[in-house]
Structure 1
Amino acid sequence: MSTLIRPPPVDKSQSAIENLLELTQLSDIDPDLFTNTRPLWHPPGARGIYGGAAIAQTLSAAQRTIPSDFTIHSMHCYFVLAGNADIPIIYHVERVRSGKSFATRTVQARQRGKVIFTTTMSFVKQDSGGEKKVEHSTIMPDVPAPVEGMDDLDAGGTSTQPFQSQRIEILNNDSPNPHEKKCRQWIKARGRISPAGGHEAHLSALAYMSDSYFVGTIARVHKLWRYSALRKSKTKSSIDEEMLKKLLAMDEDQLKRLKFVDEADLQHIRRLKNGEDLTSGTKPEIGMMVSLDHTIYFHNPRNFRADEWMFTEMETPWTGDGRGLVLQKMFSRDGTLIASCVQEGLVRLRQPGESKL
């Protein structure tokens, strides 16, 4: 059973992302215990649940334990074990400190008694910085505006994702240096987040979406093949095998219209369609790619809407020793920097001798 308690009917007054991230407080056991109200998404081919769900639900749980005039300003997360979508998650909030200006919470997500995810968060009291402040902010780059009605995630025509995404061409994509490239996209929650959700719902939605394509930046700037090659392997790909089947069914014109498919992907798809042997003479292929940790710094936590277009820009300063680091800046559409994120991920190539179907 994927939830501890039978899920209630979907609340039509709430957006899809609010319903997905809803928590049930286990007050009869402990007021600081929570569980997922609804089943969580396990991306096809991934090792476990979508990481953004754990990030967002731990934030939601912590927000339920702090005064209304305190707001999250940073959270530091570690992915410990893959989450099983078929088992309920128990979130335990520990009230580490509740001061006059700052409050600290840790949250552990557990399944079958084992910690699968842990985070420490810091909250700050509103307007505690004083009347005079030191202020500056990086400027959002000049990029094409999002196109209403277009959704890169909806390649199959029936996307079940609670958010929309539109990719923009990679900046400096022809550079021989991966660290000079920047992967960019517009993103927003589907529908309208309800007034009852307050600013907390928008923050949880942002946390959920911050994990979208994040560690995948490394594969994109190195132009590595990012889709499962329908192979037999002891390690699962972090990419959707069902998506590969859809891509192989599309013609050239359809593929070129997909912003998330770059020229390196097109070349690989052509070879697959031609029945070529991809075990020799081809570019390296991702064997395993998973997130290890995730940090978010919230800069303007009450001055944005997650159901309106937000611009994100991702770059990777370093990759090596089977790991990679990615940095992300998130802006509201008016150019306000609303969050900065950092993620380190495990990035392993498929090794010689790993068989394919």
Structure 2
Amino acid sequence: MTEAARAAAADPAGLHIDSSVPLDVNGVPHGQPVLDRLIALLDLERIEENIFRGVSPAESPVRVFGGQVAGQALVAAGRTVPEDRPVHSLHAYFIRPGDPSVPIVYEVDRTRDGRSFTTRRVVAVQHGKPIFSLSASFQLVEDGIDHAETMPDVPDPESLPTYGEQVGSLLGELGGTPYQPRPIDVRYVTDPPWVRKDDSEREARSQVWMRADGGLPDDKLLHVCMAAFASDLTLLDSVLVRHGVYWMLDKVSGASLDHAMWFHRPFRADEWLLYDCASPSASGARGLATGRFFSQDGRLVATVVQEGLLRVLD
């Protein structure tokens, strides 16, 4: 367990913000110190051969953020697999809301170790009950046929305003509510959902550039787990924007139900990735969203699908 992980375990806040952390123009904590706290959260404590323990930041809402538990579960699975077998897919279900005030125990089942593929199943447990399950498959790197969809034509990320600059217009409407630390730098390509609320021709699509807000070590598993964390940040925006509602601004309650990712090509999570998301359907208080991650040089590196529970109460 690293020093950073020990600090996170000693301080369950994990993302606790002190005076040394930089704030953007609207007081949103960001930068390397915030990212380092997320790295520490993903550096799980091994308490047995196939059992790991993780913590949550104190700034968590009433339940654990879905991207956090998915990222931590993938870390647990990856730590039982040889480094020459990167993950190529994961499939997960969110079973119960996670309690951010207590640690999460991750139990890994070494399902199969084959000549080319390795399969792992992880169950996250709190209060003696499963809150999340994940199946992941890892593969030896092989050569083969190769093709991919083309990246959409979008503006360069450096030309777009930061999340803090864009969210400034919301502070008055939310009564000056302080924003959570942002370890991921997010730049909206399409107008943010709160801007498009009054648009009569809202498309069920959300496009953002995102990257870890700082540098990451050369750990391939960490970069993949960071992308799994980030994939849950804006994915359901594509569902909500179609109906002109948004978190905190409307009476909307929601939760991730399941989550799947396929990793096609190597990438770094501290370099810009275009996250192109769309929603093909919403019905029965559920919304389906798909996402594609492209590297800045146009390579399709990952695909995401999620169904979320979305209840509009007003």
Per the TM alignment, residue 191 of structure 1 is displaced from its structure 2 partner at its CA by 1.0
Contact 1:4–1:35 under 8 Å retained in 2: no
Structure 1 gaps, min length 5: 229-284, 352-357
Of 271, 293, 297, 1:334 maps to 297
Amino acid at match of 2:69: A
Match of 1:273 in 2: none
Partner of 2:228: 207
Matched with 2:107 is 92
Q: Which AA in structure 2 matches 1:72?
A: V
Which secondary structure does the structure 2 equivalent of 1:35 belong to? Answer: strand
Match of 1:294 among 243, 259, 283: 259
In the alignment, is the contact (CA less than 8 A) between 2:59 and 2:180 conserved in 1? no
1:48-95 Cα shifts (integer Å, max 9, x gaps): 111100110011111100111101000001111111110110000100
Larger radius of gyration: 1
- Write the distance in 2 (CA, Å) between the matches of 1:15 and 1:6: 15
Alignment of 1:67-82 (within 5 A): 67-82=82-97
- Aligned mate of 1:114, from 129, 135, 139: 129
Instruction: Supply the distance in 2 between the matched residues of 1:70 and 1:41 (Cα, whole angstroms).
Output: 34
- Contact 1:25–1:34 at 8 Å: present in 2 too? yes
Name the counterpart of 2:24: none
The answer to whether the 8 A contact 1:175-1:181 is kept is: no
Give the letter for the 1:39 counterpart. Answer: S
The 1:24/1:210 distance shift into structure 2, 3 A limit, reads: same
Letter in 1 for 2:252: G
Q: CA RMSD, aligned part only?
A: 2.9
Match of 1:40 among 34, 57, 60: 57
Give, in whole Å, the separation in 2 of the partners of 1:340 and 1:85.
28
- For 1:320, the equivalent position in structure 2 comes to 283
Inter-CA distance 98–158: structure 2 relative to 1 (3 Å threshold): same
Shift of the 41–208 alpha-carbon distance from structure 1 to 2, 3 Å rule, reads: farther
Q: Deviation at 1:226?
A: 3.3
Deviation for aligned residue 1:182: 2.0
Q: Is the 8 A contact 1:167 1:184 kept in 2?
A: yes
The percentage of counterpart residues that share the same residue type is 32
Q: CA deviation at 1:16?
A: 4.1
Is the partner of 1:200 in helix, strand or coil? helix
Q: 1:144-164 CA distances to partner (integer Å, 9 max, x unpaired)? A: 011279421574697612111
Preserved contact between residue 205 and residue 241 of structure 2 (Cα < 8 Å): no
1:1-357 to 2 correspondence within 5 Å?
6=10, 15-26=36-47, 30-36=48-54, 38-40=55-57, 43-44=60-61, 47-127=62-142, 130=143, 133-147=144-158, 150-153=161-164, 155=167, 160-169=181-190, 181-195=204-218, 198-228=219-249, 285-300=250-265, 303-351=266-314
User: SS of the counterpart of 2:308?
Assistant: strand
CA distance in structure 2 between the partners assigned to 1:85 and 1:113 by the alignment: 15
Could you tell me how far apart the structure 1 residues matched to 2:133 and 2:86 are? 19
**Residues 204, 241 of structure 2: 8 Å contact kept:** no
Is contact 1:192-1:307 (8 Å) kept? yes
* Superimposed CA distance per residue, residues 103-141 of structure 1 (whole angstroms, 9 cap, x where no aligned partner): 1000010001110110100111112xx4xx222100101
Shift of 1:177: 7.2
Provide the TM-score with structure 2 as the length reference: 0.79
